[in-house]
Amino acid sequence: MSEGTHNVTGGSVPGGETVPRECAGAYRPSRGRRFWERTKEIVFMIVAVLFLRTFVVQAYQIPSGSMENTLLVGDFLIANKFIYGPPIPFTDFKIPGKEPKRGDVVIFRSPTDNKDFIKRCIALPGEVVEIRDNRVYIDGTYLEEDYVSLKGFSPPEANFGPITVPEGHIFVLGDNRNSSFDSRYWGALDEHRLKGKAEVIHWSWDRRHHRPRLARVGDLIR
């Protein structure tokens, strides 16, 4: 009488009984296949991170005091890069987005050296902006600003204008009005230079005392 043979691939044993697949031996992909699968995972993660960083969000660190007390040196923030229209990679064009609003804390490429700056949007296209003794007037009406800090001596730019903001531009100022390099010095900002809107502080480090400022973590930027 002939005896059946154990077939690992098909999962059979003598007598014709079926062996469950998990008992038939685990499938072990080849080293080359494992390498390829891992490579695809890594590439996918890199593409996802680049997509998010380019089009959706990006982290920034505050290096100076020009936005005190809204933002402090050592604050780390998340910016929404999608809101004003993300850039199209390898071009000078942007996908259309929302128009900036007065009061938005915006991140942009400086028109003087292409570094990333962060300031507050104060005046919109077509508006007349004037500053008298560090008090801002828009179209002749005083602008209430409860976020302004006036530390140190007032520069000559504490009195400025009036000027009309050109179309496609906004007028930006730092909240720490006496220590900010902003539209008073280099003019209205072309909206094409906008990179995003500051949304939330995700970490804060007090450099002077070498400790975290946990009370600021999670604060929305207004």
Q: Do 55 and 97 form a contact (C-beta atoms < 8 A)?
A: no
User: In terms of DSSP H, where are the helices of 52-198?
Assistant: 183-186
| Cα separation, 121 vs 183, whole angstroms | 10
Please confirm, yes or no, whether 30 is among the known catalytic residues: no
* DSSP line for 68-83: TTTS-TTEEEEEESST
Q: Spot the catalytic one: 66, 179, 183, 204.
A: 66
Q: Spot the catalytic one: 94, 115, 119, 154.
A: 119
Angle, CA of 49, 54 and 55, to the nearest 5°: 105
| Cα separation, 77 vs 106, whole angstroms | 12
Please confirm, yes or no, whether 149 is among the known catalytic residues: no
Residues with active-site annotation: 66, 119
